[in-house]
Structure 1
């Protein structure tokens, strides 16, 4: 008998304490077992604490981790904190609290919330990117990149928030203002550290064939890398020795190039300012363009704008024609060469621009009337108006023109990437210090490895300087140092690393988090890598995934890790929306706090509901009624104790259903169909009650199946029923395929093609016996009375057909 009501508050705290005391989920050092490394994206610990979106991926991988332990694997399921970054610093500035204290408070809150949800994380491996013992190795990896020429400093136009006094990524600029503070964003040239991720573009692309990523993740990676084959071509600037270099994927359309467009930031503009007769107009346009993000300039810009560079023109190398040169903000200095040849007959943007400014449009690939209709985007077709290329197919024309360009030494075959090198500087305090010093004599010099970590100095003021330099620039006794190479005067780099730095290798540190001699031992790295299953948000499947793959590949090339890819499998979850089907936000008033759900219904209810809410990879709207439904399910699970009878095996009535449920739950968990796995367990509970009794063998199996989803209630019931040991140490149930097939099945009965009834028969029952059952059904006897049976057809185990007249 269930001797008291289901009380999650008592049960859940009790079991969380027991798990801590027993170190239930501590990763074993026993290497004889097969390993399984399950990884979730470590959170940024904000002041708001967890929201109900966090538990969805954590519960999913917790289910997999718990199941794997029961299947005999040595499981690594770690958690940590991605704790450097601008939001903490902004909060610290606003509230006059040191970012370190803000971070400690936020981490403490997050950790308590995660523990209250009963996750089986190995907390002994907890990491924090702001811990000097962690970022020592972030700095060490940076020094290796610098040593190999993959970290360099250059002048770079960046999105500059005039209010936050910080550089922003394109994604952080919305409608020309800072996403965080709403301040005006301008383009500003700053000297920035860059990482040469483009060096790895080909490997990052090709090695996607080695991994099991969901297709939309692979597509997002491929699109961001953006590989394209074509040619670089030089267009001479008339009456000078200079040329404008462009990259094109369609060198076959060179005869159709009727004008050129430069980025407003292109250096040739300043070089030829004396020749450009409308230079003031050009400067004015450049100023307007500087206030737009790259995204606004390329993706959002519907109306094409531009200014001609009066006084200079270019020469089309294939026909010697003079063509005008314009500037327009849809051309970016950071993509390709910062210049394009415009072929308006066969490119949509060029066509719109040419139409607006009355520029010539010449069709060079046969494909309709471009003057009357729109441009023709022709990947195939026959070349026309193209001199020595006339009559050739596009593919053949490409080969011929590239050979001609190389022969004339005015162009060459080229592979280009949309991927840009990674801006790796932030003019902020709360980030990893860059472990380099600048010496007038020696240039940039790394600090010796034995001096790592280079820690952040304690400061009272961490507000960015008015000039946009890092707050560290004002701490002169920290900045001024000696050059490790020549012993002369040197100054430390005052920029810090971006938040992406610590998250680019955190999965490696989990394998050996307390090592003070290396970022992780070779033995641990060899055993645990690659990560077997990594789940995270779709918003991180481009940049974070790309950056961490790049760092891993770099360490692989140096021999520190033994796998070319860090993650074998990558999946993503859908968002949880508010009850009004909109994204949760304070402004919309639809935010759900998981603490409230745990307090009212229990952690197991929250876990069950988040897995039952819908298909895991799809967004789903929160429903308080749905939460209540999952709590009712767990109440019914609890009350099953009232109908338990002796017996270690499955009863005859439920044997098939038990094996079917084991199979369904086991397979659905692996395919991220958590909602249908839970539905199968709900169905089994209904069958327990319909049957009026449950054997100990059946409830044991059921509790093990439910345990990964609802660990607290299942451990408590296991103990109350006096079963041996703990559930987390049990073996995962195995189904017998033969016993998943029903002994009895329902077949349809048709008379003259119309369904007239059904009959319950034994599987593979003889035809004569089936006929006997069909003919004994009252409704069938009634219809057949006085009729002549012409034919009877029996399709075994499916249908019994009778034809009458």
Structure 2
């Protein structure tokens, strides 16, 4: 038997065993409690990195632990395989995106298998496979029929380099999240999903997900952005139309002195008088080149232009000039803002810049604002002034009263507004799921009949590198026959945003072989919701909100029963090296392949789990890796050094254990309790591992010459191996086998601690006099409070502090502390 620890041999052996035995393949089992564990699936970029190692090791600990605890664990893996990088790589490498993607998948699958992850590989899927995206097309058509998918002309975020539309979430600091090009505004016909229909429910459920980090829930609430207020109609001077505004501060309406419209507002051009046209057109073009997110930033310079037209304040009857303003967005509220410069900071800055009138209508308690001396807007609550019949009311009361009045007079109404906008899913690129729609001159927009699905992504395309979608240039794809009238028609050449694929993949994992529809409801209802989801904080809005929306849509389409996709969410920290996140651009990447080749997968896993709690950033340390490797070797050596001692040992006879044997066994069972609680309740893998290290320190020098030492040590060694199994599964399986066990660890139960064994026979009690430490005493755990008090008062180190003083009272915390209070 090999006595030297050789990771490569051991890891290959057990990976082969797990695969041959299908150790982690699962089916539905009504007699077992299910546990659905999932890490966010990776994009097949070609290489796993240390972030992957950490993320998947975290998930694997949970999966293996839950399996040993008797749960029916679903732990699948797949590939988020569509997307722009594959097209870019196809252009650079003169390789087809499909070939590039599948080659990367094959390589990364091999890397992940070398890590010994407990995946059910039989459920593997890739979103670029027609077996997956065909069902997404069916879901799209059902959403189209329900009005949840629709097309409209809209200003969109446009990346001129990628020549594609970006969702608001895909614009970072005014740049494309993929290529860092400056994002422009462009008007296009686009397909949308009506996520706003679910805004209220999406918001409501953020208060019913206790297993999610509050930080993520807050980000989602802010993104949904519910506002309760009023819509008010401001009649246009000389015209029959009105400008409709949404405001949450109807208490300030008497202070509205001008109107601000989004440059994209439908009335912007109509309200522009001939003498203002040139200046207005130039301003609109300038705003089109400005990032939408940047336009709303507090420090962004407020600019505008006068249209030449006026509207009327419906309550004051004052004539208000209509401006276009760069900080007003057409897709928030109504795209029009009643400007109250004295009580809104943006309006204040704008009014000062363009010399527009100010009118105070809210006075702070005990002060009197003067427009001539104001240095900033007053935005707090106060008392109404210059507001007609509403003078003297406090702001909150005035909001209700003015809202009622507006409704009575037919010039406004109470309403709720959301910041959340509908999800634009059109992408002008090739490597994505084709939108199953046909355009016919006679019939208009025609859904592809279900029997004609899937609309396959053609493979015979050329990539010029000029941007845009090569689909639009492929006549064999574009030209088709209208399924309604039989005349010549053309296909939609836009493909779906890749976030559509990642919005339901976790459900398809439940039934990847199902051929009669997108989902097998019986199987999906057994597994869903995901009990534990693990991934990066960067997806707090980008992916998680879409997945929540899609789950609710599929529920309403009758495919699933659950309301939410993920019961618990863990957002793991980044891997940091030399003070920065690991990345190729910073030149601080550690290659997991080289790490596994030198130290083994178990060492790579152990270091990434021990160095920091999962939710915190992990600072890379070469010394930490060496330390993890040394620890595994210590465990290996300890087991082999004691093999002869424990080989034929029976279970210990608890009634006849010596004091030394009981102490040793107590350390073992305390460790079981600590590790179990750290994994199950807190995911504090680092402290769990530290407890096992402490146990090892106890076991190594424990060479007792007592009758049952071999029996106690056998229990201790087997327990150590069992506790290590989720963290370092390969070496644990090997040691378990060498200890004489024939059932693999993957089918062995997690150890239970003996409640009697973890009770201390003796405890160390702190003794204080007037709150100051004077000594510590060791007493039996069964010592009563009265006996403990006597021992403390008679202690030779305490007596000098009591001499000549009156003991007023003795405060006793059993098993921990005695505080003697003296005069």
| Fold-level similarity (TM above 0.5) | yes
Residues 104-141 of structure 1: per-residue CA shift (max 9 Å, x gap): 11111211111111110100000100000110111111
C-alpha change, 1:251 and 1:767, in structure 2 (3 Å) is closer
Which SS does the other structure have where 1:429 is aligned?
A: coil
Offset at 1:362?
2.0
**Structure 1: how far apart are the matches of 2:87 and 2:270?**
41
C-alpha change, 1:704 and 1:97, in structure 2 (3 Å) is same
Show the counterpart of 1:604: 602
Show the counterpart of 1:572: 571
Offset at 1:181?
3.6
Residues 609-632 of structure 1: per-residue CA shift (max 9 Å, x gap): 111122221223222222222222
Show the counterpart of 2:708: none
The equivalences for 1:60-459 within 5 A come to 60-173=58-171, 176-211=174-209, 212-273=211-272, 275-299=273-297, 301-309=299-307, 311-367=308-364, 368=367, 369=369, 371=371, 372-375=373-376, 378=379, 380-459=381-460
The equivalences for 1:452-531 within 5 A come to 452-463=453-464, 468=468, 470-531=469-530
**Structure 1: how far apart are the matches of 2:520 and 2:790?**
74
Offset at 1:171?
4.6
**Structure 1: how far apart are the matches of 2:559 and 2:532?**
21
TM-score normalised by length of structure 1: 0.94
Offset at 1:543?
2.6
Asked if the contact 1:276/1:312 (under 8 Å) is kept, the reply is no
Offset at 1:592?
1.9
Offset at 1:300?
6.5
Which SS does the other structure have where 1:764 is aligned?
A: coil
C-alpha change, 1:801 and 1:83, in structure 2 (3 Å) is closer
Residues 573-617 of structure 1: per-residue CA shift (max 9 Å, x gap): 111222x22122222221222222212222111111111122221
Tell me the number of residue pairs that the alignment of Structure 1 and Structure 2 aligns.
Answer: 796
**Structure 2: how far apart are the matches of 1:396 and 1:521?**
53
Asked if the contact 2:173/2:293 (under 8 Å) is kept, the reply is no
**Structure 2: how far apart are the matches of 1:187 and 1:772?**
82
The equivalences for 1:717-732 within 5 A come to 717-732=735-750
User: Does 1:758 find its partner at 2:761?
Assistant: no
Show the counterpart of 1:713: 731
**Structure 1: how far apart are the matches of 2:269 and 2:603?**
65
Which SS does the other structure have where 1:740 is aligned?
A: coil
Further displaced range: 696-705 or 17-26: 696-705
Asked if the contact 2:192/2:426 (under 8 Å) is kept, the reply is yes
Offset at 1:793?
5.3
**Structure 2: how far apart are the matches of 1:620 and 1:529?**
31
Asked if the contact 1:308/1:327 (under 8 Å) is kept, the reply is yes
Asked if the contact 1:344/1:350 (under 8 Å) is kept, the reply is yes
Unaligned runs of 5+ in 1: none
Offset at 1:370?
6.4
Residues 723-771 of structure 1: per-residue CA shift (max 9 Å, x gap): 2311111111222444333221112345686534322221132579768
Show the counterpart of 2:684: 673
Asked if the contact 2:582/2:588 (under 8 Å) is kept, the reply is yes
**Structure 2: how far apart are the matches of 1:804 and 1:197?**
69
Further displaced range: 140-149 or 377-386: 377-386
Which SS does the other structure have where 1:514 is aligned?
A: coil
Which SS does the other structure have where 2:456 is aligned?
A: coil
Residues 217-252 of structure 1: per-residue CA shift (max 9 Å, x gap): 211221111111111111122111122211111112
Offset at 1:789?
8.7
Offset at 1:257?
1.0
**Structure 2: how far apart are the matches of 1:22 and 1:355?**
76
**Structure 1: how far apart are the matches of 2:27 and 2:573?**
32
Offset at 1:401?
1.6
Asked if the contact 2:789/2:810 (under 8 Å) is kept, the reply is no
C-alpha change, 1:758 and 1:3, in structure 2 (3 Å) is farther
Which SS does the other structure have where 1:571 is aligned?
A: strand
Show the counterpart of 1:554: 553
TM-score normalised by length of structure 2: 0.92
C-alpha change, 1:29 and 1:406, in structure 2 (3 Å) is closer
Offset at 1:701?
1.7
CA RMSD in angstroms comes to 2.6
User: Does 1:682 find its partner at 2:693?
Assistant: yes
C-alpha change, 1:6 and 1:388, in structure 2 (3 Å) is same
Further displaced range: 716-725 or 22-31: 22-31
Offset at 1:517?
0.9
C-alpha change, 1:464 and 1:140, in structure 2 (3 Å) is farther
**Structure 1: how far apart are the matches of 2:554 and 2:56?**
28
Show the counterpart of 1:662: 672
**Structure 2: how far apart are the matches of 1:483 and 1:266?**
35
